[in-house]
Structure 1
Amino acid sequence: MRGGDRHERATSVAQDGGHPHCLAYRPGASIGGLAGRPAPPDVAGGEMRLADALEGVAIRETACFDPDLKVDSVTIDSRQAHPGAVFVAVPGFKQDGARFIPAAIAAGSRVIVTAALPADPAPGITYLAVDDVRAAIAPISRNVYGRADERMRMLGVTGTNGKTTVAYFTAEILRAHQRRVGIMGTIGFDIDGEIIETPNTTPEAPLLHSLLRDAANAGVDDVIMEVSSHSLELHRADGIPFAVTMFTNLTEDHLELHGDMERYYAAKRKLFELAPESVAVIDIDGPWGRRLADEREATGSPVLRTSAADPLAGLRAENVRMSILCTEFELVYQDARRPVRLHWLGDYNVRNALTAAGAALSLGYSLDETVAGLEAAKPVTGRLEPIANDDDLAIIIDYAHTTDALAACLRAVRALSDRPITLVHGVLGDRVHALRHEMGVIAAHGADHVIFTEDDLKADTLEGVLADVAPALDAGPATWELIENRWDAIGAGVERARRGDILVIAGKGHERQLILGDGAGVIYLNEHDAVAEALAGRDPRALDPRG
């Protein structure tokens, strides 16, 4: 139950090698080296009539409508417009896409979707006015890119934390049955270890459906999508025929987007409203999960409740045992019991495994097949990941950057050993001030020594973030120090690990970027490399692109 959707408005690093298998993506590119495999005709791409592209879209009024115009793509970025592209003028967070209609037309677009027809339409251009521009993007994109989601089995998972881990657990079970699986989420679009970078956890609908088309062309059988609350609010996943939907948990995060927990919950619930016929696998170990399960059952939709605590849940874990090497428990389903031994650490990963198991069982896999897949799953990079080293130092890198995720991470580490914990972490900028303070409280009570450092500051400054965090650190039992440079902080943490501490480096995990404060840009960061430098006796600061 880790993670969160921190990427929704971040900018990707323009850096080769951010992940050893990352690829820059362009629509139509080959995936997995299978470009030569014949594709079903309705996912192969190519031109289609505008009238067919608009199937299922409520058009309020038109100007110069030509149903026979040929279109081959959809874009919301005028810089990507070209002849054949449908340009959707989206009212954005900071500026209105209608301002860029002239640029899209100049680039060759002949179809414009907008909120209102222009007073003076350009000759030869088809204008389509709709009541909700955002809601129109997904159906147009699905149509133009061949409804590839109908040729693959689609699974969706949402929640504040744990989506990536659940996706990888589920994928391992499916792959054990010779299914070719794609995972779309926080780390990009992963097909058999080949990762295509994407700018958001759940991409905008044009990119999403072009990726799905290319995945179908490449022979992918199943796609597991992490579906963020932000994307659900913006209709990016509308129309996708999910066979299974999954809910992990809901904790305070993204309130700068949603305002309060009630609206945050309502955004997450939209995934299950999109797929009323699918089985919803819901973790009920939190109050929001219990509420969601109750509400969904009241509509008559199928629900499988999972729990590591509730003896009445349909799928549950009992007799959980944890060590520094593995996590063991008994999986109980329909009065049958099976022992499970996970390579993953942490009690929350028991709940993540239950959610994935619920998805597999809902798809018809047996309990034994499900357990075999769970036991084969290897930890995801940066998710409570022990860093192997010749000195046998206890060093863990974790993506924890929300209050609940950091608390769960530190609880899990504390349960594994009685050795002191040194925590290297920072707090995201552009977040609610109360949450920053709470992060300090969790750090000061969960660790024995805190090295506070920079994280993605965005428009904030380290001094501004520290003003909220320092009082909490001062009031807690842990000692703490400020080391502004993250590479220096990691080096200091490794030195404490040499003295016997367990070192937890939290907040970045798999990420390969650091967003600087005051809008100063984005730089490359690889914490695994920084740890390796420190372990080798070298100065990790040498890896800081700032010098």
Structure 2
Amino acid sequence: MNNAQPLLSALLGVVAVQAQHGPAAMPITSLTLDSRQARPGAVFFALRGTATDGHQFIQKAAEQGAAAVVCEELPAELNPTTTYVQVPDSAEAMARMAAEFYGHPSRRLQLVGVTGTNGKTTCATMLHKLFRELGYHCGLLSTVQNQIDEQVIPATHTTPDAIRLNELLAQMLRAGCTHVFMEVSSHSVVQHRITGLHFAGGIFTNLTHDHLDYHGTFDNYLKAKKGFFDQLPKSAFALTNADDKRGPVMLQNVLGRRETYSLRGNGNFRGRLLENAVHGLHLEIDGREVQFRLIGVFNAYNLLAIYGAAVLLGEEPTEVLTVLSGLTSAPGRFEPVVSEKARITGIVDYAHTPDALENVLQTIADIRQPSQQVITVVGCGGNRDGAKRPIMARLAAELSSRAVLTSDNPRFEDPNDILTQMQAGVPTEALGKVLTIADRREAIKTAVALAGPHDIVLVAGKGHETYQEIQGVKTDFDDKLVLQQMFELLGK
């Protein structure tokens, strides 16, 4: 926020006002979408959400002294001490007013957004690490956590709401950050969380089956991702995966500089996979051979996207590759947990979509020895896209030696109902190698018990998460920690 408190009239100057009741020549001290946080000097935004409608809480916000209410539908009774502003879309108005309230911090930052189904966290996190190693002060906005250089700020959403987002960007700017790397979820585009931000660049990783519970159709999901690129200014770069069939779609009608990366074709940034082994990737990128610490073809694409973005931001290619070669991935992304005693390799990965699970299992297949078993523990989240459940169970069954189906975050669904839907996807010929254990801890314990020397235990779905959500209650649960405990408990 600027030192001087902005007037409501100034904030309303950036939105389409349909009707206004009350004065606008008043200083505004805060913005909120939570009526419980409404107080004198605050603007309360009534948003229509998937679970609740903020319009129900307009009266409460006014009673608590809110200076103004921004809404799509005016209430029947108006508080004489509150200014009411009617707009076509409260979420869009909130985003534009939040950017104005905090002084448009994104305009003074090199803000790069990463979107796609898989790879967002890895790309954003590694760009943050890379640019810090290159000597910059940087911010990170990701699923795992938000960061200002080394300072960690817990994340509750992949992309924060527009008020919190602009507040964080302003905080990063005050801390001396020059670059910020953020994940851009499909929800955030549709819900106007990124509206009003100025991006220096956008990256598209890939697009596969996910979030259809929210978007309804794959076409809507695609349009949401495309919506991010449509917002990029002429000064920005748009970097897309040319090997993904939806990659070129992202560049259609984009105002900014159109760039591509590819492992198979003629992208602006070209890579070639020389080796994918347990010790890492050996790639040729733009004619330079480099050894990386990350594993898997999907990470080869991530590395190429990171490299391309860094070069487009003005960094020297050889220096970028030198630093990038020494970096590790984001927490919970193909993260090893090794039992030295039993010589079992555990892998914790956030794979919670069919494509991500297939990528991880294919990567393990590429690097494992013929004698090594792969035992996979996997579940599917509740109150989310149910169509992917049988697909993920089928992939686990077909691409693993043994599979254990279990709970993920069941949320408000019955875990057994989720597991029944998953079991429907297991091929008849694979039923004998699939177990179903609803208790996730017991499932991991069973997988470790089934493993012998040199085998690989993959625990998929939750990755970096340190909780399990059941009936609205979050309890401590860390796949990595539980895996370590089971190694010790079983003497492995």
1:533-544 equivalence runs, <5 A = 533-537=485-489
Q: Which residue of 2 aligns with 1:522?
A: 474
1:459 deviates by 2.4
Q: State whether residues 395 and 497 of structure 1, in contact with CA within 8 Å, keep that contact through their aligned partners in structure 2.
A: no
Shift of 1:401: 0.6
Q: What is the CA distance between 1:243 and its match in structure 2?
A: 0.5
Residue of structure 2 aligned with 1:138, choices 81, 95, 110:
95
Further displaced range: 147-156 or 236-245:
147-156
Residue 344 of structure 2 corresponds to residue 393 of structure 1: yes
The reply to whether residue 50 of structure 1 matches residue 8 of structure 2 is yes
Gapped regions of structure 2 (runs ≥ 5): none
Distance apart, 1:476 and its partner CA:
4.8
**2-side partners of 1:189 and 1:300: how far apart?**
29
Tell me the SS of whatever aligns to 2:434.
Answer: strand
Number of equivalent positions? 487
Q: Matched residues in 1 for 2:409 and 2:488: separation?
A: 27
The aligned residue for residue 135 of structure 2 is 178
Contact 2:117/2:207 (8 A) holds in 1 = yes
Spell out the pairing of 1:406-421 with structure 2 (5 A cutoff).
Answer: 406-417=357-368, 418=370, 419-421=372-374
Summarize deviations over 1:484-523 as a string: whole Å, max 9, x none. 211111122222334442110000100011111xx35221
Instruction: Quote the Cα distance in structure 2 between the aligned partners of 1:169 and 1:300.
Output: 27
Moved more, 406-415 or 495-504: 495-504
Other-structure match for 1:480:
434
Conserved in 2, the CA contact under 8 Å of 1:152 and 1:216? yes
Aligned equivalents of 1:502 and 1:120: distance in 2? 64
Which residue of 2 is the match for residue 331 of structure 1? 285
Q: CA distance change for structure 1 residues 389 and 448 in 2, over 3 Å: closer, same or farther?
A: closer
- Partners of 1:305 and 1:157 in 2: how far apart? 14
Matched, 1:249 2:249: no
CA distance in 2 between counterparts of 1:44 and 1:211 reads 14
Q: Kindly indicate whether the alpha-carbon contact (under 8 Å) linking 1:306 and 1:314 is maintained by their aligned counterparts in 2.
A: yes
Match of 2:178 in 1: 221
Is residue 242 of structure 2 the alignment partner of residue 284 of structure 1? yes
What CA deviation, in whole Å up to 9, does each residue of 1:443-476 have, x standing for no partner?
1111110011111112221221122221322525
SS of 2:169 mapped into structure 1: helix
Match of 2:328 in 1: 378
2:400 corresponding residue in structure 1: 447
1:53 deviates by 2.2
Give me the whole-angstrom Cα distance separating, in 1, the residues matched to 2:465 and 2:175: 27
Question: Which residue does 2:259 correspond to in 1?
Answer: 304
Distance 2:2 2:338 in 1: 44
Task: Note the residue ranges of structure 1 that are not aligned, 5 or more in a row.
Answer: 1-42, 541-547
Q: Give the Cα–Cα distance (whole angstroms) in 2 for the partners of residues 178 and 103 of structure 1.
A: 48
SS at match of 1:453: strand
Q: Which amino acid aligns with 2:307?
A: A
Choose from 343, 347, 350 the match for 2:293.
Answer: 343
Task: Give the secondary structure class of the aligned counterpart of 1:440.
Answer: helix
The 1-side partners of 2:2 and 2:174 are apart by 6
Match of 1:158 in 2: 115
Aligned mates of 1:424, 1:288 — CA distance in 2: 30
Code of the residue aligned with 1:504 in structure 2: it is L
**Secondary structure, counterpart of 1:426 in structure 2:** strand
Distance 1:473 1:118 in 2: 53
Partners of 2:419 and 2:444 in 1: how far apart? 18
Q: Secondary structure at the match of 1:164?
A: helix
* TM-score, normalization by structure 2: 0.95
**Aligned with 1:263: secondary structure?**
helix
Distance verdict in 2 for CA 1:56–1:300, change over 3 Å: closer
| Partner secondary structure for residue 223 of structure 1 | strand
Deviation at 1:44, TM superposition (A): 5.2
What displacement does 1:308 show? 1.2
1:7 is aligned to: none
Runs ≥4 residues deviating over 4 A: 43-46
Q: Does 1:463 align with 2:413?
A: no
Q: Deviations over 1:103-127 (max 9, x none)?
A: 1122221111011333432112111
Q: Which amino acid aligns with 2:347?
A: I
- Contact 2:118/2:356, CA 8 A, preserved across alignment: yes
CA contact (8 A) 1:54 1:139 kept: no
* Secondary structure of 1:472's aligned partner: coil
Shift of 1:414: 0.7
Task: Determine the C-alpha separation between the residues in 2 that align with 1:131 and 1:214.
Answer: 30
What are the residue-to-residue correspondences of 1:73-112 with 2, within 5 Å?
A: 73-112=30-69
Structure 2 vs 1, CA of residues 122 and 471 (structure 1 numbering), >3 Å: closer, same or farther? closer
Give the conservation status (yes or no) of the 8 Å contact 1:424–1:450: yes
What letter corresponds to residue 262 of structure 2 in structure 1? S
- Name the SS for the 2:426 alignment partner: helix
Partner-residue secondary structure (3-state), 1:71? coil
Q: What is the deviation of 1:433?
A: 3.7
Q: In structure 2, do the counterparts of structure 1 residues 451 and 193 end up closer, same or farther at CA, with 3 Å as the change threshold?
A: farther
CA contact (8 A) 1:46 1:72 kept: no
d(CA) in 1 for partners of 2:467, 2:117: 21
Q: CA deviation at 1:271?
A: 0.8
- C-alpha change, 1:448 and 1:389, in structure 2 (3 Å) is closer
**Residues 503 and 81 of structure 1, relative CA distance in 2, 3 Å threshold:** same
Separation of aligned partners in 1, 2:77 and 2:260: 56
The CA distance in 2 between the partners of 1:122 and 1:371, in whole Å, is: 61
What code does the residue aligned with 1:81 have? A
Shift of 1:539: 10
Contact 1:172 1:376 in 2 (8 A): no
Moved more, 192-201 or 255-264: 192-201
> Do the aligned partners of 1:444 and 1:472 also contact (CA within 8 Å) in 2?
no
State the secondary structure of the residue aligned to 2:224: helix
SS in 1 for 2:477: coil
CA distance in 1, matches of 2:273, 2:386: 39
What's the offset of the Cα at 1:326?
Answer: 1.0
**TM-score w.r.t. length of structure 1:** 0.86
| Matched-pair contact (CA < 8 Å) for 1:169–1:373 | no
Asked if 1 retains the 8 angstrom alpha-carbon contact of 2:114 and 2:184, the reply is yes
- Aligned counterpart, 2:444: 490
Give yes or no for contact 1:422–1:502 (8 Å, CA) kept in 2.
yes
Correspondence for 2:270: 316
Identify the residue that residue 377 of structure 2 maps to in structure 1. Answer: 424
